[in-house]
């Protein structure tokens, strides 16, 4: 049996697969998610996948070169930092797991046999099936597995929150029990005492934020030029909502995070004495 492989199909298929696998790896590693960088990494990896189909480029598929490209794709997605090696290892594990799942799915649902190449195996699975499997893997990682990955505890983090040209300096306690993250960027989101943020709010805004429930405060301040939103949180007492906002800039230990979110503490979320807020550990 012969197969006709089209370069554009291989590129699209591998871009979709790599995107979800790398996203899952970043979530498991508790690394910051930047979707443009993940997409760029996926595009580079899909171009590299074409090398397996070209006999003249066999040098790209020897083991040391494979490892270098794995590190390159991980560095593009996660940046060059201590977590890059962890992301690369998780990506390799998830790739092997995904490959087995695709092979089983193709054999059971479509009855196609894999195509054995000189430097690997190509499974002729449809784009729809690959997208479903990779997105399912992402969902399982995001919703189930990430919560059981241990985190390293620390002490404190110095933070500066800037909003509308005004800044507040904060001292955050690192709390392993705090897992609040911005769902848009996967960044850790600090929970801060409102009093510590008084430099960035007017007295009237601070009064509304202190006296009104989160949903009413968000409506009352909709003309303030601040992007407010609600963060669902779960505690031993049940679930509730914290009011948060997108800061112009948040600096954590000297590292700038543009557009990061900050949640406002309510009763039960107040930081320990001597601290302005809490933040989870990576």
Res 151: pLDDT: 47
Q: Are the C-beta atoms of residues 21 and 137 closer than 8 Å to each other?
A: yes
Res 150: pLDDT: 47
**C-alpha to C-alpha distance for 231 and 182, rounded to whole angstroms:** 8
Res 154: pLDDT: 47
Res 93: pLDDT: 84
C-beta neighbour count of 147 within 10 angstroms: 8
Fold of the CATH domain 156-279? Cathepsin D, subunit A; domain 1 (2.40.70)
Res 33: pLDDT: 74
Name the DSSP class of 107: I
- Please give the model's pTM, rounded to 2 decimal places: 0.51
Question: Which residues of the chain are modeled with pLDDT < 70?
Answer: 1-9, 52-61, 99-155, 176-178, 185, 235-238, 268-272, 281-282
Residue spans of the domains in the chain: they are: 7-148, 156-279
The DSSP string of 187-250 is -B--EE-GGGGGGGS-HHHHHHHHHS-HHHHHHHTTTSS--EEEEEEEETTEEEEEEEEE-SEE
Res 53: pLDDT: 65
**C-alpha to C-alpha distance for 40 and 143, rounded to whole angstroms:** 25
Res 28: pLDDT: 78
Q: Are the C-beta atoms of residues 164 and 182 closer than 8 Å to each other?
A: no
- The string over 160-191, giving b where at least 16 C-beta atoms fall within 10 Å of a residue's C-beta and e elsewhere, is ebbbeeebbebebbbbeebbbbbeebbbbbbb
Instruction: List the 238-246 sheet strands across, edge first.
Output: 228-235, 238-246, 261-264, 191-192, 277-279, 166-174, 156-163, 249-252, 255-258
Which residue intervals of the chain are DSSP H helices?
7-28, 35-49, 63-78, 83-105, 127-140, 203-211, 214-220
Distance in angstroms between the alpha carbons of the first and the last residue of the chain: 50
């Amino acid at each position: 049996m012969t197969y006709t492989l089209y370069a554009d199909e291989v590129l699209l298929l591998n871009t979709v697969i790599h995107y979800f696998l790398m996203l899952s790896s970043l979530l498991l590693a508790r690394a910051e998610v930047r979707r443009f960088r993940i997409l760029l990494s996926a595009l580079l990896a899909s171009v590299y996948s074409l090398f397996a189909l070209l006999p003249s480029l066999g040098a790209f598929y020897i083991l040391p070169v494979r490892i270098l490209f794995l590190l390159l794709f991980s560095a593009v997605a996660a940046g060059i930092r201590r977590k890059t090696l962890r992301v690369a290892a998780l990506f390799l594990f998830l790739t092997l797991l995904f490959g087995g799942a695709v092979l089983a799915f193709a054999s059971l649902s479509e009855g196609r046999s894999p195509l054995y190449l000189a430097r690997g195996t190509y499974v002729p699975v449809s784009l729809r099936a690959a997208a479903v499997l990779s997105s399912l893997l992402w969902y399982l990682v995001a919703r189930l597995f990430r919560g059981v990955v241990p985190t390293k505890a620390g002490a404190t983090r110095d933070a500066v929150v800037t909003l509308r040209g005004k800044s507040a300096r904060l001292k955050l306690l690192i709390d392993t029990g705090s897992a609040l993250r911005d769902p848009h960027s996967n960044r850790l989101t600090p929970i801060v005492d409102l009093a510590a943020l008084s430099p960035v709010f007017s007295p009237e805004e601070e009064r509304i934020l202190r006296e009104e429930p989160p949903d009413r405060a968000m409506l009352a301040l909709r003309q303030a030029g601040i992007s407010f939103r609600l963060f669902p949180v779960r505690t031993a007492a049940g679930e509730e909502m914290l009011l948060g906002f997108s800061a112009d800039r948040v600096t954590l230990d000297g590292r700038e995070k543009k557009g990061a979110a900050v949640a406002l503490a309510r009763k039960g979320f107040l930081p320990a004495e001597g601290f302005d807020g809490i933040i989870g550990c990576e």
